[in-house]
Chain A
Amino acid sequence: MKNNFQKKVIGGTSYLNKNCWLAKSLNYPPYERCRYCNYKFRNCLFLHYQVISAVLIISSFSVIFLVERKLSTLLIMVIFSLVIVYGYYFNQSTETIIKSNFSEKKAKEDLEKLTDQLEDKVEEQTKYLKELLEMKNDFLRVVNHQLNTPLSITKGCFSLLKENIYSPDKALPSIESGLERLSSTIADFWDAYELEGERMKMNRQKTDISDIINRLIEEKQRMRLAQERKLTIEIQEPNFQIPLVWCDYKKIAHAVSNLLDNAIHYTREGKVTLFYELSGDYLKINVKDTGVGLSDEDKKRIFKKFSRGKNATDLRPDGSGLGLFIAQKIVEGNDGKMTFFSQGRDKGSTFSFTVPIYKSQKIGLEGEELVSRGKKIVIFDDNNKKKI
């Protein structure tokens, strides 16, 4: 389509100068140079040459005939030869000039177009860089605030403990939770940073996810908050054999853990249920709670960074607002999809994600052994990376 269009523009092989009476009548360009011309027929230089030559020949012959009363055959031959030879070279040179003029004009146009495009590109890039800079500043502001907050709680409690205003029994739990919050916020920020730029590599392998989930559920049942609220945290056993899945089990465990944490924090009473479903080539994992649910406002921005639900500050003051963002990125990095469902405020919510069922996928480059974070010690022995 684009090529056809290009052929029909001036200089193209199928170009027909519609301004030229002759070309239009013939329905094809009479000469090669007519491809580069958009003049009217009466402005055609070659036509002028032909007409003038004809007039000159006729008038010369008439004058000679009137003066000498005869026309020598030799003279006629000489004049015609001159006209033909001159015409040929005139034709050739005009064609070359027209072509080179056309190329020059075209090059200029292309250059202008390119300059315009470059200017647009530079403008676009500058805008993008400005946005990035703004985002970086916003991010640093958030990081600064989110890190300083647990630090100010910890330092405040510590100073009250030091001044003997607080007893160790009162101060230590707050100091401990402040430090815990600090370290998990730092971990969350780093995960979000790595996941956003897709720097976090997925080390996918054949995984028995039910085993990981069983352990996570046991861990969450022991959580202080869950015990205080007397929440029931359970797995609804499926009526099918849970298939092996193809994923990075550490990252997926992190995502499931985030979903369970969220469910526990936003459920004042009742239960948190994890259940499995089969969906084509995927295993669907659902975390359902009887908690505060999601308002329409919450639903719009639920997976955004630093986004927290309407009741977030009351129910989870330590949340960084990154948990769901991280979980979603991990799920997507493993070729799954994350969805949620809630009938509204105080009606509970269900967060679900899919993960591909193992079907003899092979470990590719992504499966290469990587030095992962989260390890306490990593020893670098020459070029071999060993993890402890």
Chain B
Amino acid sequence: MRLTTAKKTEKCLILFFEDESELISIYHDIFKMNGYNFVSTNKIEEALQITSLKHPDIVLLDIIIPKPEDTMAEQGWEYLEAVKKDIKTKDIPIVVFTNLDTYQDRAKSEKMGAAAYIFKRDCTPCEVVETVAKIIDCDRKKKVRK
């Protein structure tokens, strides 16, 4: 089943910075099904490399990505900060896609320049695809206006 909002997004590239293999598999399937190019990684260096080289249309960003020395490392923030600092990548819309749901995390995401905040647990994959399509659409319109 394809979602109507995703029709115009044939060649969009989505970067999914995530460590949960099950979630990667679900979102890989649903995005591919809706005609997106989908790439995922659980390594920050790789994510930053893909961002600067391939310039994805949107990034779905998990916050807690474990490091060898810290299993609850919040590498998502590091990634967001690095992308927003770089003049070449700062306009890429980044959607914080996490299982943390505190006011502080939401406020931090907004302050750091995220385009949206999705609480994983309460959103179905279809809702995520719709939100992503809307954000890409808005972003494109914004760029055309500029």
Contact = CB atoms under 8 A, between A and B. Distances in A.
Interface of A: 138, 141-142, 144-145, 148-149, 151-153, 155-157, 159-160, 163-166, 174, 177-178, 295, 297-298, 301, 306-310, 312-313, 317, 321
B124 to A, nearest CB: 4
B119 to A, nearest CB: 8
Give 8 nearest A-B pairs by CB, closest first.
A148-B99, A159-B124, A152-B120, A310-B68, A148-B121, A152-B121, A153-B22, A308-B71
A276 to B, nearest CB: 32
B99 A165 contact: no
B42 interface: yes
B23 A152 contact: yes
Given A152-B121, A165-B29, 9 more contacts: A141-B102, A142-B72, A149-B99, A160-B125, A163-B126, A165-B126, A306-B71, A306-B72, A312-B71
Contacts of B102: 141
Given A149-B20, A155-B124, A160 B99 contact: no
Given A142-B72, A145-B72, A152-B23, A313 B30 contact: no
Nearest to A149: B99
Per DSSP, chain B at the interface is: loop
A310 B42 CA distance: 13
B62 to A, nearest CB: 10
7 contacts: A141-B102, A159-B124, A159-B126, A160-B26, A160-B125, A163-B1, A178-B22
Contacts of B125: 156, 159-160, 165
Contacts of A152: 23, 99, 120-121
B121 A313 contact: no
Interface residues of B, number: 26
Nearest to B2: A165
Most buried by A among B42, B64, B125, B126: B125
Contact of B71 (A141, A148, A307): A307
Nearest to A151: B121
Contacts of B86: none
B4 interface: no
Contact of B69 (A159, A163, A297, A321): A297
Contacts of B100: 141, 144-145
Contacts of B64: 145
A305 to B, nearest CB: 9
Nearest to B22: A153
B135 to A, nearest CB: 19
A145 B124 contact: no
A165 B1 contact: yes
A174 B22 contact: yes
Contacts of A301: 69
A311 to B, nearest CB: 9
B33 interface: yes
Most buried by A among B19, B68, B71: B71
A165 B101 contact: no
A153 B30 contact: no
